[in-house]
Each structure stands twice: as structure tokens, then as C-alpha cells.
Amino acid sequence: MVGKKNKKKEEEIKVEDPKTLKKAAKSGLRTMRRTRKHHPLREEGRIIKYGTKGFARNFWLSSAATVVMSITLIILFVTVVASVILTNTADMMRDKIDITIYFKPTTTREILDQMTETISADSNTKSVVTSDSAEEYEKFLTENAGSDEIINVLDDEMKALMISKMQATMRIKVYNVDNLDSIKGIVENDETFVEYLDDEKQPTYDVNQVEIATITSWARIARTGGIILAAVFLVISILIIFSTIRMAIFSRREEIYMMKLVGADKRFIRGPFLVEAELCGVLAGIVAASVSYFGFMWLAPRLSGYGINVDEIVGLLQSNKLIIMFLIFIGIGIIIGRVSSRLAVSRYLHKA
């Protein structure tokens, strides 16, 4: 019906009659706009079909993009994990640091409890453990339970002698090893402390000062350096993946131009390229997550042997959070692939 009407109007066109011409032309435009109804699901299906076929038919190009994406994702994983491990190891070492204060062997349990109360009141104190001379002796026995040579010579006389000589101790764990001034102030100025401090053995916070400083600086480097490195690698990864996908699309820019000339919508042209890039992202995510998981699980016991704290990462990988890690990898792959592809295709879409 519409076609018949148009035909009639076209026949009426006269070059000399601008009014009729304009009317007929506008009518034609209205007919053009009444195009066939598009089915979004059908279109989506076709886009996915051609995207998948394109991925398979451009096998070498797709593989190259997937490999580059996988490598960059693995580098990103290594950076993040290294930062976490370094921070955890530094924290673990800091956690091992305690201040030991030695008191005269005559210091009683009551006095030790009184001093514990005083030191616990300081905001930097995390925990305090004390032992008097008798407890120190028990500890000595426990530590040397396997050494018959030592145990056999410890008669009552020897025991009494050792207890009279062994210092009572106070082991303090602190929140901030960088600032021990307040604790130092209590130890050096509190009357009870001053009275019972051992004359021979000095508190250890002075002895450990260098180690404390080293570990503290390591922890700081690990934390800030890890964040900076991860950010830098993320940017580099995005740039590498973007360049790879851009190169792949550059080699197919003629196709985009051809599709435009035969009347394909932008969405229909762009769609298969996005699907291809997303497929690269999914595959790269799976490859990177698998390599990272198996690689790390193989390496973890060896790192642990060197006193490196890998427990948190191993715990994460062994728990049900593993699936989350895979999904994050795939998600990053898809997002980077999609964004890169969209930007690269747009460049050529606007040209024709």
C-alpha cells in the first residue's frame, strides 16, 4: 500500500514544481524512517555469532591479543601478591618484636603485677607478660626438657641457686615500634621500675632499635611501593592491551568502512568486535588466573622456607574465594578488552 502511494508520488515529481517535489521528498523520508522493526534479541544473537566466528577466523590475531592480555594480567597479579606478601612478612617480623625488661631476682609476683598495671595503662602497650624468678626457672626446665645432661645436674641446691640468680622478666608487645618513648619514660622514671630494674641486663629496646628501624622501613616500602607498582602495572597493562586490540582492529578498518557503506548500523558493526575483545578477555582471565594459581601454589612452600609470610594469600586461594579471584581476572579482562575495542572501533566508525 505504502509502496503504491510512493510510486504514484514519484511519478508526480516535476523538476519545475518545487512544492510538489518537497512534499514527495518528505513523504519518501517518512517511508524510509518506517523501517522494519528490529528485534534486539535477534540482533544480539547475530552480533555474538559473528563475534565468535570472527574470533575463530582471526585465530592468530585473537591468540596474540589473548596472550598479551594474559601476561599483563599475570604481571598485575604478581605485583599485587608481592606487595601483600612483603607487607605481611614485614608485619609478621614487627609482631615478633617485643621489649624485654629485666628485674632483680628478688622481684616478687605482686610487684610484677603492679608494674604490669602501670605499663598496661600506656596507649602503645599491646600486651604484657611477666615471669618472676621461679617461673623463669620453670620455663628453663621446659625449654631444656630433652637435655638429660642439664636436668640431671639440677638438684635442690642448684635450683635454689638458679632461682636466686635468674632475673624476673617483663615482655611488652607494642602497637607502634617506631615510638617507644612513652614506655621508655615509664621504665626510666617510675619509682618501682627504677627500684627493681636489674643492674646487669639492660632493657632490649635499645638493642633492637636498628632491626626495628629496618623492618619498619621495609614495611613502609612494601605498602607504598606495592600500591604504586600495582597502579603503574595496571596502566601499562591497559596500554599494552589497548595497543594490541587497536592493531588488530587497524588491520580490519576496511571491513568497518565496507559495513558502513552497505548500510550497517554502528551497533551492528561495533558489536562483533566487542564480542571478540570480550572473548579475548575471558580467555586471558582464565589463563592468567590458572597460571597465577598453580604457579603460586607451587612457589608458596619454597617462599615459606625463607621465612616469607605467604599464609594470607595461600588461605585466600584455598578458600572459596578462589572463584572470586577467577571472576575478578575475567572481569578485568572483559572490561579492558571491551573499552579498548570500543575506542579503537569508534576511531574508524566515524570516518566513513
Residues of this chain that interact with another protein (CB under 8 A) are 6-7, 9-10, 13, 15, 21-22, 24-29, 31-33, 35-39, 42-43, 46, 50, 53-54, 57-58, 252, 255, 257-266, 268, 352
**Minimum distance from CB of 43 to another protein (Å)?**
7
User: 33 or 191: whose CB is closer to another protein?
Assistant: 33
Phi, psi dihedrals of residue 305, rounded to the nearest 5°: -60, -30
Sheet holding 168-174, edge to edge: 99-103, 168-174, 125-131
CB 286 within 8 A of CB 58: no
User: 13 or 299: whose CB is closer to another protein?
Assistant: 13
Measured from the Cβ of residue 5, the count of other Cβ atoms closer than 10 Å reads 11
**Minimum distance from CB of 26 to another protein (Å)?**
7
**Minimum distance from CB of 39 to another protein (Å)?**
7
Closest alpha carbon to 74 in 252, 286, 248, 244: 286
Burial category of 253 from C-beta neighbours within 10 Å (exposed 0-12, middle 13-18, buried 19 and up):
middle
User: 29 or 210: whose CB is closer to another protein?
Assistant: 29
User: 54 or 226: whose CB is closer to another protein?
Assistant: 54
CB 333 within 8 A of CB 284: yes
Measured from the Cβ of residue 178, the count of other Cβ atoms closer than 10 Å reads 13
User: 2 or 150: whose CB is closer to another protein?
Assistant: 2
**Minimum distance from CB of 262 to another protein (Å)?**
6
**Minimum distance from CB of 72 to another protein (Å)?**
26
**Minimum distance from CB of 1 to another protein (Å)?**
15
Side-chain-side CA neighbours of 233 within 13 Å: the count stands at 20
User: 260 or 342: whose CB is closer to another protein?
Assistant: 260
Compute and round to an integer the Cα radius of gyration of the chain: 37
